[in-house]
Amino acid sequence: MPDLLFSVDDEVVIITGVSGQLGHQYALAFLQRGARVCGLDLVHSEGAHKLAEQYPDHFFFHQCNVSQSDSLTGALVTMRSIFGEPTVLINNAAIDSPPDAPLEETGPFEEYPDDSWDRVMDINAKGVYLACKVFGSAMAVNRRGSIINISSIYGLVSPDQSIYDYRRQRGEVFYKPVAYAVSKSALLNLTRYLSTYWARSGVRVNTLVLAGVENGQDPEFLKAYCKRMPVGRMATEVEYNGAVLFLASSASAYMTGAQLVIDGGWTAI
């Protein structure tokens, strides 16, 4: 008898930001376990093309902007015609200020550009709200669904600005900006709100809180980050797969409105 506790082969999974580093890994983890996956992103990456080649009956990509309601509704219509009703939604698409962001974006808080705030909130907070509205509402009608909102340690606690001292020592003015952190903490209460709203409609809503992932970062950044990190290293890109599979499967059937923190101990200090 197969053990169905963690099984996901009956799930129809939507992953936003599927062309990014972690979205690709989540898609692979579900596909390897027999789920059907609809990947959404602004960009149709080489990785997404490969997934479609490798899993032609189980994966398709749909170009979509999560901050536009019509774009999400279009994705739902396409998905229904290919795989049927969605049962899992991973709200993974997001933007952050990259290490080489324009100077004004990583300058002092007092000078942070208001349009950068709007751009980040539009994708990271409003995009998740809209995706929940479009896909979560369909799940509630079907009385079955699990929504996983991807947050960050910087949504739970403030960025530790001392990690970036190495940049200041080089003569740069650098602060980890405000909007990303605020957008990621907004997800914690969107999760709580929707978890109670849909609690009796068969839709569970949880937040997965992540710490930083290895991605060829500046060695000086790595040194400072890993010194602050209790386990002494960043996560690898596959180390959150177990958590998304758990949150999508019946192993977490009684879990809703919660946050699962997988952060190498960062917030334990």
Q: How far is the CB of 98 from ligand NAD (least distance, A)?
A: 9
Q: How far is the CB of 193 from ligand NAD (least distance, A)?
A: 19
Q: How far is the CB of 221 from ligand NAD (least distance, A)?
A: 11
Residues that bind ligand NAD (CB under 6 A): 16-17, 19-23, 41-43, 64-67, 92-95, 123, 127, 150, 152, 210, 212-213
**CA distance linking residue 161 with residue 168, whole number of Å:** 10
Residues 6+ apart with CB under 8 A from 235: 210, 211, 212, 213, 214, 262, 264
Q: Which is nearer to ligand NAD, 138 or 235 (CB)?
A: 235
Residues 6+ apart with CB under 8 A from 130: 66, 67, 68, 69, 72
**CA distance linking residue 257 with residue 255, whole number of Å:** 7
* Chain residue at closest Cβ approach to ligand NAD: 20
Q: Which is nearer to ligand NAD, 21 or 54 (CB)?
A: 21
Q: How far is the CB of 111 from ligand NAD (least distance, A)?
A: 24
Calculate helix-pair angle for 46-54, 21-31, nearest 10 degrees: 0
According to DSSP, the residues that pair with 85 across neighbouring strands are none
Question: What is the DSSP code (8-state) at residue 195?
Answer: H
Q: Which is nearer to ligand NAD, 35 or 209 (CB)?
A: 209
Q: Which of 32, 17, 21 is closest to 245 using CA atoms?
A: 32
Q: Which is nearer to ligand NAD, 64 or 163 (CB)?
A: 64
Q: How far is the CB of 5 from ligand NAD (least distance, A)?
A: 26
Q: Which is nearer to ligand NAD, 71 or 249 (CB)?
A: 71
